[in-house]
Amino acid sequence: MIKWDIQHFAEVTSTQDHALAEAHNNVAQGLVILADTQTKGRGRSGNGWTSFDGNLFCSILLRPRIEATQAGQYSFLTAIALNRTLSEMIDDSHTVLNKWPNDVLIDNRKVAGILLEAVLDSRDVEALIIGMGVNIANAPEDKISVNALTPRPETALSFLNAYLAQLGEVLDEYDREGFSGLREEWLDHAFGLSHSIKARLPHETLEGVFEGLETDGAMRLRLANGDIKVIHSAEVFFE
Ligand code: BTN
């Protein structure tokens, strides 16, 4: 199992930038940058990520021996570990679901977002940076926080430790058995599977039914004419 090395900062611009710089400095995998606050937190699609007090902001450095085409699978591994962590902390009257590609929802409200960035060496992955923001103590409007649902309040650090234990197990499973069982686990807790969605791509918006995942984690969308469109990256809206 990977040995984690958590480095805790009061304030950084973005834990992603910090971890990326360390990746370029040849730091070994297992480094975790944790910050109490970020002044320039980054979300997906060029969005920002606000630092609400008491929430978790971290970036995890991995160096898997994979090709660039497999990198996307890691956002599913990350979400599975997050789903397992949350499901152990809160009682089963609440539903923890994975939203493609890598959000986690509780009772259909976002509790965490993941930003995966890769450093590539031609066709191979040199490093992966898994950025994760989890609403622990506070949530923006219409989102949800962990501590609103847990019997005992978590801190960012206690949550991170529980999460890293789960992530270590998921990564070991992936190394031993590959992606297909984990992909099934992700689908068992998928938000909006078999429902109509809209996928906004750079030059078009497609409508169809979310049918499942390809082996690399891409979304299978069944269009009205019956064709299957494979979507690797898009902003997705569930109806
Ligand atoms: C999303 O858009 O849902 C992804 C949000 C990812 C935010 C986290 S917070 C820690 C890490 N550092 C960043 O600047 N972003 C990620």
Query: 219, 225, 224: which is closest to 237 by C-alpha?
Result: 219
- Measured between its terminal Cα atoms, the distance across the chain in Å is 40
Between 11-15, 80-84, 153-157, 202-206, the lowest mean confidence (pLDDT) is in 202-206
Tell the residue number behind the tokens 């998921």, with chain if given: 170
**pLDDT surpassing 80 at residue 239:** no
Q: What is the pLDDT of residue 235?
A: 82
Between 55-59, 173-177, 201-205, 222-226, the lowest mean confidence (pLDDT) is in 201-205
DSSP summary character for residue 71: T
Counting ligand 1 atoms within 8 A of each CB, the residue from 18, 49, 98, 111 with the most, and so the one to mutate, is 49
The percentage of residues in the chain with a pLDDT greater than 70, rounded to a whole number, is: 100
pLDDT (tens digit, 9 = 90+) per residue, 32-43?
Answer: 999 999 999 999
Q: What is the pLDDT of residue 162?
A: 98
pLDDT (tens digit, 9 = 90+) per residue, 193-222?
Answer: 999 999 999 889 999 999 999 988 899 999
| Per-residue pLDDT band at 238 (split at 50, 70, 90) | confident
Report the pocket of ligand 1 as residue ranges, CB < 6 Å: 14-16, 38, 41-44, 47, 49, 57-59, 103, 113-115, 131-133
Q: What is the pLDDT of residue 19?
A: 98
Atom 3 in ligand 1: which residue has the minimum CA distance?
Answer: 113
Q: What is the pLDDT of residue 49?
A: 96
Count of helix runs (H) and strand runs (E) in the chain: 4, 12
- From the alpha carbon of 49, which atom of ligand 1 is closest? 7
Q: What is the pLDDT of residue 16?
A: 98
- Cα(56) to centroid of ligand 1, in Å? 10
Counting ligand 1 atoms within 8 A of each CB, the residue from 59, 104, 115, 191 with the most, and so the one to mutate, is 115
The secondary structure element, H or E, covering residue 169 is helix 156-177
pLDDT (tens digit, 9 = 90+) per residue, 85-139?
Answer: 999 999 999 999 999 988 999 999 999 999 999 999 989 999 999 999 999 999 9
Considering the entire predicted model, what is its pTM? 0.94
